[in-house]
Amino acid sequence: MKVLVIGNGGREHALAWKLGQSRKVDKVYVAPGNAGTAVDAENVPIAATNFPELIRFAKAERVGLTVVGPELPLTLGIVDAFEKEGLRVFGPNRRAAQMEGSKIFCKKILRAGSVPTAAYSEFDNQQDAVAYLNRNSELPVVVKADGLAAGKGVIVCDNGAEAIDAVKRICADREFGDAGNRFIIEERLTGQEASVLAITDSKTIMTLQPAQDHKPAFDGDRGPNTGGMGAYSPAPLVDDETLHWIESHVLVPTVHTLNKNETPFRGVLYAGLMMQTGTKTPAKVLEYNARFGDPECQPLLMRLQTDLVDVFEAVIDQRLGLLPPLAFDQRPAVCVVMASKGYPGSSEKGFPITGIEDAESIPDVKVFHAGTALDKEGRVVTNGGRVLGVTALGETIAEAKRRAYEAVSKIHWQGVWYRKDISDKAIF
């Protein structure tokens, strides 16, 4: 079978690499891909949002399965467009992808399903929001633009003045454009965060092993938020008992409520959770994503032993319940993101990268590419903010971390930086 992966990040490299290992797959294409997917698969120069061209390609090449990585094409309806043409595609349709594309839609589903989450109010103008903040000035809040804002539409506020400023940024400055036409103000939660991803066909839920991301740019969780500077799995913070609790109190009611709402979800449902360990409600939902996390996907797929094609096809045919549970390598995996100077702000591109082969010669290490490209001479060069996700397995998290950083130390380019403490939260 031929498989097409849509996207160009580290998540899509990991998906292409894993799908390529399936006994059912003889060819993997990635559109548009990066320098890493050019090696592990074949790149197709079509943008992830150019649906007519992607459909034309999938038909011409007789692609048997298309897997959509990023949220933007999902929320724009890529799955609806492919299905209309009779093409087999893994991911939620446009309506179901609102779980990520609209924070208000997501909150309504959570509320209807009694899923634990922060209390919130919905707004569409500055005046009402400021009046609300003045009435509730003692409450720590988070202000969130409703729509997709490249991960930047969430403003965590330390005090009332910051919250009023956040509202101004959304309404008056229109920092997030139309994504901020509506917004929510919600209770600020505290605790450690964890990511629990599940694959669902809307009838059966297959929960993946828990993972933890590192969103702040710098060591010790300081600095601006990023797309994620590293991840590891499993997350010892989410033990088996807690994972079961999350399945029955978070994932099951979410999937059930989506069905009742006539927006059945088929794809990856990613719960971003604030852990409240030791309380009656050990986890509350911060957000849902409608896809694999990046970089969580990289350590998760390093550990996954089940053939992903079988799982994705079962979701498309709604027979996930007939499959055995997912099998994972018991060894933990750690992924360290190597970034360009300037990230998460703007960064220069085009710096040659050396040492990737050396890094990959270490056993149980895989270097997933994100912002990379091949230059005219065929050299691998930087092409974005998050450049590589260096991922390693080890007998323990400490061992996986040591191995990942040993691999990182072999790789160089001008301006490279990375966090030095990925997975430390898991090492007690």
Stretch 150-169: interaction string toward ligand AMP, x if CB under 6 A: ----x-x-------------
| DSSP bridge pairs for 66 | 4, 89
Q: Which residues bind to ligand GLY, rule: CB under 6 A? A: 213, 228, 289, 293-294, 296
Q: What is the smallest separation between the CB atom of 99 and ligand GLY, expressed in angstroms? A: 13
Spatial distance between the Cα atoms of 238 and 349, rounded to a whole number of angstroms: 38
154 binds, among ligand AMP, ligand GLY, none (CB under 5 to 8 A by kind): ligand AMP
DSSP conformational letter for 304: B
The residue whose Cβ lies closest to ligand AMP is 287
For residues 420 and 30, give the distance between their C-alpha atoms in angstroms, rounded to a whole number. 31
Q: Name residues whose C-beta falls within 8 Å of residue 208's C-beta, 6 or more positions apart in sequence.
A: 196, 197, 198, 199, 300, 304, 326, 328
Least distance in Å: CB of 370 to ligand AMP? 19
- C-alpha distances out from residue 212 to 197, 230, 233, 334, Å: 11, 8, 7, 10
Cis peptide before 264 (omega within 30 of 0): no
Of the pair 48, 164, the CB lying nearest ligand GLY is at 48
**Residues between 102 and 141 with contacts to ligand AMP, criterion CB under 6 A:** 118
Size of the site for ligand AMP (CB under 6 A): 12
Residue 210 found at the interface with ligand AMP (CB under 6 A): no
**CA pair distance 112, 106, nearest whole angstrom:** 10
Of 88-96, 186-194, 321-329, 417-425, the window that binds ligand AMP (rule: CB under 6 A) is 186-194
Q: What is the torsional sign of CA 323, 18, 290, 79?
A: negative
**Candidates 15-23, 31-39, 104-112, 182-190; binding stretch for ligand AMP (CB under 6 A):** 182-190
Nearest distance, CB of residue 107 and ligand AMP, angstroms: 11
By three-state DSSP, how is residue 42 classified?
strand
Q: Does 215 bind ligand AMP (CB under 6 A)?
A: yes
Interface of this chain with ligand AMP, residues 278 to 297, rule: CB under 6 A: 286-287
7 versus 272: smaller Cβ distance to ligand AMP: 272
C-beta of 349: minimal distance to ligand GLY in Å?
22
Using rule CB under 6 A, residue 197 touches ligand AMP:
no
Nearer to ligand AMP among residue 28 and residue 275 (C-beta): 275
Specify the amino acid at residue 22.
Answer: S
The one segment of 125-133, 173-181, 187-195, 310-318 that binds ligand AMP by CB under 6 A: 187-195
Task: Give CA angle at 57 (52, 58), nearest 5°.
Answer: 100
Task: Encode 169-216 in three state secondary structure.
Answer: HHHCCCCCHHHHCCEEEEECCCCEEEEEEEEECCCCEEECCCEEECCE
Q: Which residues bind ligand AMP (CB under 6 A)?
A: 118, 142, 154, 156, 186, 188-189, 193, 215, 272, 286-287
